């Protein structure tokens, strides 16, 4: 059996209704994991679940607002009940509000940080309790290169993703001794429903491409391999790390 094989593993993917989360849920299912698919929108949930099932996989939908009080404990409990356990958590749910720093309101700051950082922590905490007790687990946080380098009009988003990267390190430090590895992937621009309008602006697209050594925008499938790797036993001795999946953008220089 390949060390990348996830057969028998129970996984939860948040923000899995579309875009990156959908691709990761389907990819982990194709690698053999049984998936709890978490998203806000019921129609998106059932579409992803149906696609996984059509490919011969096992998936269970969980509709939830992850910023609601008690949501983290509830979705972890539902996952364990539905799948019979939890071995892998992919924290993908997130949002962005693109504004210049002096225009960001307190309400907008809270919305971004509450989902991107606070919900990610409390989901990790709830899953970590299960994983540490069973002395096995893999947590993969979807951060961003915005947490590694400074990007314009993204102060709340960049701050939240930098927090996710540091949180990844601290949780790895605390939980690796229990067999729970915590890592992150940091994407650059990928074609998703959330970036479609932005990337349709030719001037913006060309600026992004000019700062991307590989010369192209990422496809969501480019994230599936790194996620499977970090969720698998092939990454058994890797913890606390962030892998930039960015076509070389984060090492860009003049």
Mean pLDDT, residues 144-165 taken together: 95
Q: Between the CA of residue 149 and those of 21, 28, 54, 108, 219, what are the distances in Å?
A: 23, 29, 40, 21, 21
Nearest-angstrom CA–CA distance, 130 and 37: 18
pLDDT at position 229 is 98
pLDDT at position 252 is 78
End-to-end CA distance of the chain: 45
Mean pLDDT, residues 204-225 taken together: 95
Residues 113 and 134: beta-carbon distance below 8 Å: no
| Burial category of 143 from C-beta neighbours within 10 Å (exposed 0-12, middle 13-18, buried 19 and up) | buried
Q: In this structure, what are the phi and psi dihedrals at residue 128, rounded to the nearest 5 degrees?
A: -60, -35
* Single pTM value for the model: 0.96
For residue 153, the cross-strand partners are none
pLDDT at position 194 is 83
Nearest-angstrom CA–CA distance, 128 and 78: 15
Is there a catalytic annotation at residue 157?
Answer: yes
Residues 53 and 47: beta-carbon distance below 8 Å: no
- Per-residue pLDDT tens digits for 21-72: 999 999 999 999 999 999 999 999 999 999 999 999 999 999 999 999 999 9
CA–CA–CA angle 24, 30, 35 (5° rounding): 60
Mean pLDDT, residues 204-218 taken together: 95
Sheet arrangement for strand 10-14: 59-63, 34-39, 10-14, 88-91, 137-142, 180-187, 242-245
Residue 61 exposure: Cα atoms within 13 Å on the Cβ side: 17
Burial 33-52 (b: 16+ CB within 10 A, else e): bbbbbbbeeeebbbbbbebb
- Per-residue pLDDT tens digits for 94-117: 999 999 999 999 999 999 999 999
Nearest-angstrom CA–CA distance, 54 and 237: 34
Which of 94, 10, 99, 19 minimizes the C-alpha distance to 59? 10
pLDDT at position 253 is 58
Marked catalytic residue, from 157, 189, 237, 252? 157
Q: Which domains does the chain have, with CATH numbers?
A: 10-191+219-244 (3.40.50.720)
């Amino acid at each position: 059996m390949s060390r990348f094989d996830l057969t028998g593993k129970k996984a939860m993917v948040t923000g899995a209704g579309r875009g990156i989360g959908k691709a990761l849920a389907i990819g982990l299912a194709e690698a053999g994991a049984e998936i709890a698919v978490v998203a806000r929108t019921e129609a998106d949930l059932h579409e992803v679940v149906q696609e996984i099932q059509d490919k011969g996989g096992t998936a269970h939908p969980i509709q939830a607002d992850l910023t609601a009080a008690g949501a983290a404990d509830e979705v972890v409990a539902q996952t364990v009940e539905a799948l019979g356990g939890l071995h892998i958590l992919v924290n993908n749910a997130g949002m962005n509000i693109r504004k210049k720093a002096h225009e960001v309101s307190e309400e907008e700051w809270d919305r971004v940080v509450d989902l991107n950082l606070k919900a990610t922590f409390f989901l990790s905490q709830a899953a970590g309790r299960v994983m540490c007790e069973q002395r096995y687990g893999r947590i993969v946080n979807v951060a961003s290169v915005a947490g590694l380098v400074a990007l314009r009009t993204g102060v709340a988003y960049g701050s939240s993703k930098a927090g996710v990267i540091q949180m990844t390190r601290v949780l790895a430090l605390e939980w690796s001794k229990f067999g729970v590895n915590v890592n992150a992937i940091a994407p650059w621009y990928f074609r998703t429903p959330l970036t479609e309008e932005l990337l349709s602006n030719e001037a913006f697209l060309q600026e992004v491409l000019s700062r991307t050594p590989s010369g192209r925008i990422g496809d969501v499938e480019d994230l599936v391999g790194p996620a499977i790797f970090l969720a698998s036993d092939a990454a058994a001795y890797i913890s606390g790390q962030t892998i930039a999946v960015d076509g070389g953008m984060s090492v860009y220089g003049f």
